[in-house]
Chains A and B, each alone.
Chain A
Amino acid sequence: MKTRKINSNTMLLLITIALFFVMYIAGCAIYASKGFAHLQTFLNILINNAGLLCVACGMTCVMLTGGIDISVGALIAMDCMLLAVGMERWGMNSMVLCVLVLAVGVVFGLVQGFCVGYLEIQPFIVTMAGMFFARGMTAVICTDQVSISANEFFVKLANMKIEIPFGAYTNSKGVLQVPFIRITVVIALVVLIAVFLMLRFTKFGRSLYAVGGNEQSATMMGLDVKKTKLKAYVLSSFLCSIGGICFCLNTMSGSVRQALGLEMDAIASAVIGGTLLTGGVGNVIGSFFGVLINGTISTLVKTHGKLLSSWSNIAVAALLCFFIVLQSIFAKLKDNKK
């Protein structure tokens, strides 16, 4: 086995993983009395961020091509609203609705991808318009907050506990607590593994890297850059819709203000996980850790109890800023080396 040299990119990823463990262990030490150290706390982070993980996977793919997709938060709101209103007001079958939501995601991605890939409009402008469109459409579907309670199957699915055979403990009242996860975590982990394999082992996956690495070279080497970009945005919106379903299973409601600022969390997760804003470098394992860091921060803020929830937003933004500056410095160092 040859030893791999540590370059600046793996360096970023290592910093992230170390950061997560430091943060988590610090959390365990400080909030041991509040049960932070139990396995369930970690599983809760996964449960709460299952939707975000799906979105972050899609975001990573788009960012690999050097693009960005800020429509994801709004798209999730639209998905949730569609699911909620569909089940509660129109009495539709939940499975049919899920398929419909996924189809909406694909169409949404097709339009955005066409604008970015074939019309060569800046991804930011396109997806910003997409963001406002989706948020507005959510309000067009319904302006109230709609809770899901009537659809038995969906409620059952949301409440399903998948128990983990180890890590059980007895709480202070002497009741045995068995750690569990929810169906959303399974979905998110399947998405994570699927995207990981896709990026590593398919031609499309590698094309994403090539396009982000050097668009001109990719064209010269015979790749269809426009089509690759189109597919990336379709994938992002599709995964985002899966994330939307997970999100809905968690919150069991739809509202216009749902998932506000989620795009920021997804982008931050990817960037913290070592995906370069300039494209071409990164993978979903990094983004997974990015999501975990994100989740740990909000859990820490919640566990503290007295801090306002906006602190977690600010912490994530600060972290994003820190990593952006770090990337910029690494890029400058690389330039100087040449």
Chain B
Amino acid sequence: MNKLKKITGKPLFLPIFCMLLVMAVNIVYDVSSGNFAFNFFTISVRNGVLYGRLIDILNRGSEVTILAIGMTLVVSASAGTDISVGSVMSLAASFCCMLLAGYGVSAANDLAVPLIVGVLGAILMGCICGAFNGFLVAYLNVQPMVATLILFSAARAIGLLLCNNLIVYVRNESFQFFGGYLGFLPTPIVIAAVCIAIVGILLKKTALGLYIQSVGINKRASRIAGLNSARIIFLCYLVCGLAAGIAGLVASSRISSADSNNIGLNYELDAILAVALGGNSLGGGKFNLAGSIIGAYTIQAISITLYALGVSTEQAPVYKAIIVILIVTIQAPPFKAWIKRMNAKRALEKGGAAA
């Protein structure tokens, strides 16, 4: 009993447990459908690049992972979530493709501007959106989710405007690189790894992590202790917007186009779910970035498993929504109190029976 508690009490228990669960489901599925039992874990080399379901998860999960990094910081510092990330991804992608193809052009094989302009444009657009959200939340004290709701619905519309209501295709190899391959590794994996590394180093080498958690736990006390709470919250939203910009770039490069209506669709749910699954409280405060990252890949594993089981992309949110509700219910104080009461009651009954 005590040992169990010790294990379940570990910070990374929830995400790792879920990951193992998903793997188990995959093994059962493979066995029952007559495949090799460890199909899930097989990695092979085909056409000079890595191949396999695990690689697929790492690859496809890159965007969610990048978003989860930003989302983790936002949740920690402001006890709210940024629900605009999916739309901001789409806007960044549209902006990038619009720059690369030229305004009003629906398909281009040659770049209208140097690639770097497009890339920086996407990132800049993400930052602007993040700054907008951050300003509303940190300086105007608007509830985080209401503030981000504005861009949640407007960003896609702005993206459509930028693309003149078209799906803009950029069929250029240099642009496709971000969603393609770097040597034998899919580039998105590398980009996600770089993002993780940069934020990891930032958290390790600067006091950012301490500041964010401190503000998230107790804003007033942090102020007295000399922190500029508003600026720190603003910064978190900025980083979140930046992450959305990068994710948008990767997503649009993958499909060589800016499909405003579909890029980043439902990604906000995945990113929030990744944070919750990573064992972080959506009420803010302490955070564990490693948890969120494992959480993000777990989400992707869940998605891919669901698709393998014949669930369509559009239906998958049903299951994810149920998981979200389950996790936040487990975290909810009234639920915890109820469990405690039930345990106490059981203990009392046991004691009564023994006596």
Contacts and interface: CB of A to CB of B under 8 A. Distances in A.
Interface stretch (B57-65, B239-247, B317-325): B317-325
Nearest to B261: A257
Given A140-B318, A143-B312, A310 B266 contact: no
A252 interface: no
B157 A314 contact: yes
Interface string B284-317: 0000000000000000000000000000101111
A interface, size bucket: 35 or more
Given A308-B161, A314-B157, A128 B83 contact: yes
A69 to B, nearest CB: 12
Nearest to B333: A120
A285 interface: no
Nearest to A261: B153
A254 to B, nearest CB: 13
Given A139-B314, A311-B161, A318 B154 contact: yes
B317 A136 contact: yes
B76 to A, nearest CB: 15
Contact of B150 (A129, A136, A321): A321
B153 A119 contact: no
Contact of B321 (A118, A121, A136, A314): A136
Interface in A301-327: 308, 310-311, 313-314, 316-318, 320-321, 324-325
Interface residues of B, number: 48
B241 to A, nearest CB: 16
B329 A121 contact: yes
A264 B147 contact: no
B149 interface: yes
A14 interface: no
Interface string A270-283: 00000001000000
A223 interface: no
B145 A129 contact: no
Nearest to A63: B146
A203 to B, nearest CB: 25
Interface in A98-131: 115, 118-122, 124-126, 128-131
B78 interface: no
A68 interface: yes
Chain A interface main SS type: helix
A130 B328 CA distance: 13
Nearest to B323: A129
A126 B325 contact: yes
Contact of B318 (A118, A121, A124, A132): A132
Given A277-B142, A321-B150, A328-B140, A133 B157 contact: no
B167 interface: no
A325 B154 contact: no
Contacts of A120: 332-334
B81 A124 contact: yes
A256 B150 contact: no
Interface string B143-168: 10111011111101110110011000
Contacts of A256: 314
A259 to B, nearest CB: 12
Contacts of B268: 128
A328 B141 contact: yes
Interface in B99-158: 136, 140-143, 145-147, 149-154, 156-158
B316 A310 contact: no
Contacts of B38: none
B314 A143 contact: yes
28 contacts: A115-B329, A119-B334, A121-B332, A124-B80, A124-B143, A125-B324, A126-B325, A126-B328, A129-B321, A133-B318, A136-B315, A136-B317, A136-B319, A138-B314, A139-B318, A140-B315, A140-B318, A256-B314, A267-B149, A277-B143, A308-B164, A311-B161, A314-B154, A317-B151, A317-B153, A317-B154, A324-B142, A324-B146
10 closest Cβ pairs, A-B complex = A136-B318, A317-B154, A139-B314, A310-B157, A313-B157, A132-B317, A136-B317, A133-B321, A264-B153, A124-B145
Given A120-B334, A310-B156, A310-B157, 16 more contacts: A68-B145, A119-B328, A124-B80, A124-B81, A132-B321, A135-B314, A136-B320, A139-B318, A143-B314, A264-B149, A316-B153, A324-B136, A324-B147, A325-B140, A328-B141, A331-B141
